[in-house]
Amino acid sequence: MSRLPVAKTYKLFIGGAFPRSESGRVYDVATPTGEFIANASKASRKDARDAVVAARAAVAKWSGATANNRGQVLYRIAEMLEGRTAQFIDEIQKSTGASAKDASAEVHAAIDLLVWYAGWTDKYAQVVGGANPVAGPFFNLSVPEPTGVVAVVAPQTGPTSLLGLVATVAPALVTGNTVVVIASESSPCAAMSFAEVVATSDVPGGVVNILTGSPTEMTPWLASHQDINAIDLTGADSELALACERDAAETLKRVVRPGQFSATLGSIDRIGAFVETKTVWHTKSLS
C-alpha cells in the first residue's frame, strides 16, 4: 500500500527547546537538483535575541561545571551522534549531493572532533595559561577563563552540514562558553538533527542554541548585540564579515575572521580565541 511521506519542518533550537520562528517564516530545503527535502524555520531578529538571552542565562552553570564534567558532556554528544550515524549520512547526502563515502567520512570526522575537543577540557589551561617569572617573593599565574556568550556563523559551503558546525561550536564549549550559532542556510537538516542530539546529551538548556535562516539577515544583529562577548565569522562572506567586524568593535567583542582557522579541523588556538586571561598574584610562603 502506497503512502505519502511526512515532510519534516525543522524548528529552531533555543534554550533547550524547539520553537518555531516567532515570525512564522519557513523556507524550502532542497537537494542540489531542486528536489524538495523539508521546511526549515527562518529565524528572525527576535529569535536571535531570544537565543542570546538563553545563552546568557546558561553561562553560570556551564562555566561553573568542572572541566572534567564538560569533557564528559562533549564525549556524550559524540556517543549519541555515533548512534545516529546512518541518519546523518542520509541527511548529508540528500542536502549536499555528497557521495555515501564522503558523507560517511564527514560524520565520522565530526564524531572524532568532538572526542578530540572533549579531551582538551581539562588540559587547555596548561597550554593557554601558565606560571610567569617575576622578580620578588610572588607567584604570578595566567588563568584562562571563558569569555561568555559566543555567536557563531557556521561554514556555509564545503562539508558544512555537520563537520563545519562541530568544528566551530565545540572549541567554544570546551572552556565554558555558551553559543548562538547560525547553521548552513542551504543545508540545515543535519545541523538541526544535531540539535536533537545535543538536547539528549546532558547539555544544559541554553548552552547551545542553533538558528536556521539567512546569515546576512541575522549576523549584523548578533555582531552589534551588547550581551555577546565574541563572534566567530568563519562562515560569513568577506563583505558581511568586514561589516560585522566593524560592528563588533563597538562593543569590544573578540572576533574570529573567515579563514583565521580551519573550518573543519581541531585547533588549540581556536579554543584560546574564546578565553579571557586573568592574572593572579600570590605571595610565596616565607616559612
pLDDT tens digits, one per residue of 27-54 = 999 999 999 999 999 999 999 999 999 9
Mean pLDDT across 265-277:
93
pLDDT tens by residue, 42-85: 999 999 999 999 999 999 999 999 999 999 999 999 999 999 99
Residue 154 Rama label (left phi>0; alpha psi -120 to 50; beta):
beta
What the block records as the C-alpha cell of 270 is 581556536
User: How far is the C-alpha of 169 from the C-alpha of 249, rounded, in Å?
Assistant: 22
Domain boundaries, the chain: 25-283
Is this model's pTM higher than 0.85 or not?
yes
pLDDT tens by residue, 238-256: 999 999 999 999 999 999 9
Q: Reduced to 3 states, what is the DSSP secondary structure of residue 219? A: helix
pLDDT tens by residue, 219-239: 999 999 999 999 999 999 999
Fold observed for domain 25-283? Aldehyde Dehydrogenase; Chain A, domain 1 (3.40.605)
Provide the pairing of β-strand 230-232 with 149-153: parallel
| Average per-residue pLDDT for the chain | 93
